[in-house]
Chain A
């Protein structure tokens, strides 16, 4: 049974993500267990065979990601799940998959690092690694859920993005969210089926790979070719390729296409949400777990008459430059609560505002933000 019956379920974050993947049509999972993502492979090892899919525990992370790419090439909807040390090992193949425009979804249940780190604590410290996940220039999509419900919902979105834009799509989870138990509302089978973009054998003979349509200036991303079907290239080379998939001596055009096929669609990819932003002078930019505490902090601050609102980034990569620029242009100050010390997203905000607006970080490491942590900073900057 691929679809869980419609209803409310009590679920752990990692399981909600796995069920979201199944609903999105997952039929291959290749992985190597690692805390705190282990429940994903445990759950899918039981569930995938029930729906005619395959869950393979490989000998290591390298084999896992290569199996995922191989499965996707022959038409499977494929994914893997790991944590920081795993993604570090997998970058070589992620880079190759990006080059070949092979769609796949990657769930990173982040834990503290570097190295082995503290394995059961949440730490958003792989965000940079997700953005530059391998050698070469390419764009990825990274989604940041904040609850078990969103781990389910956004995983479906992630699979659709992978099919549409043919690039690596990351789901940014963490040790806390992955192990959190919450109620997840599963929609009806009909509703889910309407949402999901299916993998189909492309009908075009040419145009197996993305290209720029010179007459319109738009970037066209055809459906991914499926190995073993008609008109599919007999082999794939991870070199700069033309629209037919043949090696091309024009890496400039190829690299531009790799970047622009994502950035020219940023309006559709960069999902954001706002909360009480209309008259806000102080703006919180948050993603993932800290969003939850931010909602409360804003409510409490508003009671005291402080004009504060939230711009929530659901997609963190590609970074929505224009949206952030537009939102913060009249802001007195921007607050960025993050579950990492550097302030990876705070740096991005500083970049788009040209350092004209003060950006205050609230860096928490392995300790999720309490609403009062954020409220305290709001009050300080309001003085």
Chain B
């Protein structure tokens, strides 16, 4: 299968939907891959349990995604709230080489119960970092986007940068690029750690 299944979940207002839209824009508009995005609707998107899913078709010859919903096990799962973290089960994540990542945020989640049973888990206090380093929680999105870009590797860094330029206002572009860079670094360190462990 050449489908890449992504799910982001948290609560409304955390940027769950924005992050998913950045992912689909980088993959489809800039990378030229077929992709679909669906998101939580109505009350959920405004403070309730919020989620968004993206499916990216990695085969460039396929122009239409046959099943637009993301399927378990996911290639990439990002959980940003206690409630969504509690829902996660071990079989939600693919256990394969170069894929099957779970990212969670210790700022909002006390403990990830399934953390030890999944191979590629990265707990990173995105919201705390965003506030400490950049002064606002909104920069968490660019950090996460940086992490996603490196770990998934489904689109180029160029595509990611173009997407950021499209999404953020000019006045905060530099800070967002720094946040993206920070996310990239964290992701690279994580990949190196995995490599060492495997060796």
| A binding-site residues for B, Cβ under 8 Å | 8-10, 35-36, 119-120, 147, 176, 179-183, 292-293, 295-296, 368-371
What B residues does A182 contact at CB under 8 A? Answer: 28, 35-37, 68
Q: How far is the CA of A180 from the CA of B64 in the complex (A)?
A: 13
Q: Please determine whether B37 and A180 come into contact, CB atoms closer than 8 angstroms.
A: yes
Q: How far is the CA of A147 from the CA of B65 in the complex (A)?
A: 9
Q: Please determine whether B68 and A368 come into contact, CB atoms closer than 8 angstroms.
A: yes
Q: How far is the CA of A8 from the CA of B29 in the complex (A)?
A: 7
Nearest B-chain residue to A297, judged by Cβ: B66
Taking the closest CB of chain B, its distance from the CB of A367, in whole angstroms, is 9
Nearest A-chain residue to B37, judged by Cβ: A181
B69 CB within 8 Å of chain A: yes
Q: Is the interface of B mostly helix, strand, loop or mixed?
A: mixed
Q: Please determine whether A147 and B37 come into contact, CB atoms closer than 8 angstroms.
A: no
Q: How far is the CA of A371 from the CA of B69 in the complex (A)?
A: 12
What B residues does A369 contact at CB under 8 A? Answer: 67
Q: Is the interface of A mostly helix, strand, loop or mixed?
A: mixed
Query: Residue A10 contacts which of B21, B65, B67 (CB distance < 8 angstroms)?
Result: B21
Q: How many A-B residue pairs have CB under 8 A?
A: 57
Query: Residue A179 contacts which of B25, B39, B64, B65 (CB distance < 8 angstroms)?
Result: B39
Q: Please determine whether A10 and B24 come into contact, CB atoms closer than 8 angstroms.
A: yes
What B residues does A296 contact at CB under 8 A? Answer: 66-67
What A residues does B29 contact at CB under 8 A? Answer: 8-10, 183
Q: Please determine whether A36 and B41 come into contact, CB atoms closer than 8 angstroms.
A: yes
Query: Residue B67 contacts which of A35, A119, A368 (CB distance < 8 angstroms)?
Result: A368
B61 CB within 8 Å of chain A: no
Nearest A-chain residue to B20, judged by Cβ: A181
Q: Please determine whether B42 and A180 come into contact, CB atoms closer than 8 angstroms.
A: no
Q: Please determine whether A181 and B42 come into contact, CB atoms closer than 8 angstroms.
A: no
What B residues does A176 contact at CB under 8 A? Answer: 38, 68
What A residues does B24 contact at CB under 8 A? Answer: 10, 181
Q: Please determine whether A183 and B28 come into contact, CB atoms closer than 8 angstroms.
A: yes
Q: Please determine whether A181 and B36 come into contact, CB atoms closer than 8 angstroms.
A: yes
Query: Residue B68 contacts which of A36, A120, A180 (CB distance < 8 angstroms)?
Result: A180
Nearest A-chain residue to B65, judged by Cβ: A292
With A181-B24, A182-B35 given, can you name 10 additional A-B contacts, CB distance below 8 Å?
Answer: A8-B29, A10-B29, A176-B38, A176-B68, A179-B41, A180-B38, A182-B37, A292-B64, A295-B66, A296-B66
- For window 14-46 of B, CB contacts with A under 8 Å fall at 21, 24-25, 28-29, 34-39, 41-42
Q: Please determine whether B66 and A293 come into contact, CB atoms closer than 8 angstroms.
A: yes
Taking the closest CB of chain A, its distance from the CB of B185, in whole angstroms, is 28
List 29 interface pairs A-B (beta carbons < 8 Å), by A numbering. Answer: A10-B21, A10-B24, A10-B25, A35-B41, A36-B41, A119-B42, A120-B41, A120-B42, A176-B68, A179-B41, A180-B36, A180-B37, A181-B24, A181-B37, A182-B35, A182-B36, A183-B29, A292-B64, A292-B65, A292-B66, A292-B67, A292-B68, A293-B67, A295-B64, A295-B66, A368-B67, A370-B67, A371-B66, A371-B67
